[in-house]
Amino acid sequence: GAVVSQHPSWVICKSGTSVKIECRSLDFQATTMFWYRQFPKQSLMLMATSNEGSKATYEQGVEKDKFLINHASLTLSTLTVTSAHPEDSSFYICSARDGSGNTGELFFGEGSRLTVL
Amino acid sequence: DAKTTQPPSMDCAEGRAANLPCNHSTISGNEYVYWYRQIHSQGPQYIIHGLKNNETNEMASLIITEDRKSSTLILPHATLRDTAVYYCIVRVAGSSNTGKLIFGQGTTLQVKP
């Protein structure tokens, strides 16, 4: 299947700093990417939909000024957690939709684990 | 997108078939049934999907009932590496769909030696 890569795979930062996570589709173009957050022993929660060349669409309850999303190219979307706090510690996962297929399959990255001290 | 109901957990003996059920009684005619799994601390992995007919690939088989209100994912010969959380999701497919997947709680499959 198609490959989606995230970087970094894990990051530790101090409270109050900002952290950027990258999501790349390596062998296909993704006009749409999705960002999820997962807390321990919980399911994935959709945060936002990232559209190439336009503003992201955020799910209810997700602060757009807290979680900045940029989708500048067809193969790259970034999530920036601004002024991170310990409660933002989580597993962040992106997925990308291969628009070339008829059913538009979604492929997921390996995830990025954020720990805020 | 329609909601799904899955048992929270299941056990399976290594080498035996694992049958994971999913109820989706409110599924619409244009919604597909998708299965993903998530091994601990990794991103979800696509397994299989189907609309009406049963489907099989190198990983699993998907059996969808005639009324499409439920389905079963079958791992024919479970191995220890199949231990994971399995998610059944229904969504509209195709280029007109936004494509987002809404995850439920899934079924934690524990394959035991």
SS3 B102: coil
Judged against a pLDDT cut of 90, whether residue A29 lies above it is answered with: no
A51-102 pLDDT, tens per residue?
888 889 999 999 999 999 998 888 999 999 999 999 999 999 999 987 665 5
Is the Cβ–Cβ distance between B23 and B41 less than 8 Å?
Answer: no
Judged against a pLDDT cut of 70, whether residue B52 lies above it is answered with: yes
Instruction: Report the DSSP beta bridge partners of residue A62.
Output: none
CB contact under 8 A, A46 and B105: no
* pLDDT tier at B65, thresholds 50, 70, 90: very high
Q: How far is CA B76 from CA A112, B16, B22, B100, in A?
A: 32, 7, 17, 29
Q: Which one has a higher pLDDT value, A97 or B76?
A: B76
Nearest to A103 among B36, B44, B94 (CB): B94
Mutate which of B33, B51, B59, B98 to test chain A, going by most A C-beta atoms within 10 A? B98
Q: CA A83 to CA A70: how far, in whole Å?
A: 17
B15: CB partners within 8 A, 6+ apart: B77, B78, B79
Residue A31: the pLDDT is: 82
Lowest mean pLDDT among A45-49, A101-105, B23-27: A101-105
Q: CA B89 to CA A112: how far, in whole Å?
A: 23
